[in-house]
Structure 1
């Protein structure tokens, strides 16, 4: 059995009760933290809290060489952990399909995602979101500014009146016990807003910082204004709203401090 478990958004306690029970019952536990990570807990915190030993796998150790995971699932109960919800990344779908192809039973235990948290914290309606995008560090895509694919997706959503969730790039170096704090880089929301303001300077946007933590931050203003502010510790994301329902407009004003002149009357 291979059980995919989403850890939720923040720390060792963010996992669901169902996920916690499956994790603690597993014979072998694997994890990856290159697609995202918990900023309120490290691997040692997870191991201590759940009384398990976790083998952290690199991207190559999941995508190119998953044999250790699959072998453990063939001979016992293996758990595979990720931050957020476990099936957001195609990497994890590929691993599940490999397991199924070998006759290994699989199970998915979902966790809270940044997407649902962004809707809940901002008051924007979940079904009014269009295609999400990831904004990479300029050096990561070999160019300057914002990739054309990101611009095209945002423009397509705006034309349809839909909100755009913008995930912000992370680069996590790996040490012997998982993510290495000395080699981590997280795109802050002010940096992202500055990049996007080149094309949409006066467009309304919303920053969501540290979703899932005890003290998340939500702030709405123009991209150019958000580019001048600091939003503290990671993880951050941005939302570029489309057409606003009056309840959404009221929520952005009341929950995110959106200036009245940016909202529909």
Structure 2
């Protein structure tokens, strides 16, 4: 049996009760933190809290050489864990399909995701979000500008009156401009992302969501050019670019995120 478990957004307590029980009952547990991380907990914290041994997998272990996980799941109960909801990343769907092809039973235990947290914290209605996009570090796409795919997604969503969730890149490597680097992991900051997007849309309003799921989440809305000048503290950060706002959504952004109401598109 291979059980995919979402750990939630922040620390060792963010997991659901069902996920906690499944993790503690597993014969073997793996976790990957290359798609996202729990900034409020280390692997040691997870192991102590749940009384399990957890092996950390690198990207290649999951995407190119998953035999270790699959072989174990043929004879044991195996937990495969990630931050957020474990099936949001397509690589994990691939792992599930590989397991199914080998006759291994699979199960998914969902966790809280950044998508739902962004809607909850900003007050924007979840069903009014369009396609999401990810802003990569400059070096990650061989160019200093914002990829056309990111700009096209924002424009297409706004043309339809929809909000855009912009994930900010996470990489393992050397210090990078615009990154918050911790233990070799780089987290793009919201101010750096805003400065890059402001080169194309300086007066467009966006919303910063920082540390969703933590005891001190931050939500702040302003024009991209103004957001580029601010420090939003510890990661993880993401951006939301609102489309057309219902009156209640505009009220929420103004009250909860200090949004400049006169710059919102209110319908």
Q: Structure 2 length as normaliser, TM-score?
A: 0.95
Q: In the alignment, which residue of structure 2 is the partner of 1:170?
A: 170
Q: 4+ residue stretches of structure 1 with deviation over 3 A? A: none
- CA displacement at 1:181 relative to structure 2: 3.7
- CA displacement at 1:7 relative to structure 2: 0.2
Query: What do residues 124-170 of structure 1 show as CA deviations (whole Å, max 9, x unaligned)?
Result: 00000000000001111000120011111111101111000000001
Root-mean-square deviation (CA, aligned residues, Å) is 1.1
- CA displacement at 1:214 relative to structure 2: 0.7
> d(CA) in 1 for partners of 2:90 and 2:151?
22
Do residues 37 (structure 1) and 65 (structure 2) align?
no
> d(CA) in 1 for partners of 2:111 and 2:67?
25
- CA displacement at 1:259 relative to structure 2: 1.6
Do residues 135 (structure 1) and 135 (structure 2) align?
yes
Q: In the alignment, which residue of structure 1 is the partner of 2:240?
A: 239
> d(CA) in 2 for partners of 1:260 and 1:87?
36
Q: In the alignment, which residue of structure 2 is the partner of 1:248?
A: 249
Query: What do residues 22-47 of structure 1 show as CA deviations (whole Å, max 9, x unaligned)?
Result: 00000000111000010000101000
Q: In the alignment, which residue of structure 2 is the partner of 1:85?
A: 85
Q: Secondary structure at the match of 1:199?
A: coil
Q: In the alignment, which residue of structure 2 is the partner of 1:225?
A: 226
- Which runs of no fewer than 5 residues in structure 2 stay unpaired? 174-180
What are the within-5 Å matches in structure 2 for residues 106-145 of structure 1?
Answer: 106-145=106-145
Q: In the alignment, which residue of structure 1 is the partner of 2:178?
A: none
> d(CA) in 1 for partners of 2:194 and 2:145?
11
Q: In the alignment, which residue of structure 2 is the partner of 1:177?
A: none
- CA displacement at 1:260 relative to structure 2: 2.7
- CA displacement at 1:184 relative to structure 2: 1.3
Instruction: Give the number of aligned pairs.
Output: 259
- Which runs of no fewer than 5 residues in structure 1 stay unpaired? 174-179
Q: Secondary structure at the match of 2:199?
A: helix
Q: Secondary structure at the match of 1:158?
A: helix
> d(CA) in 1 for partners of 2:203 and 2:81?
40
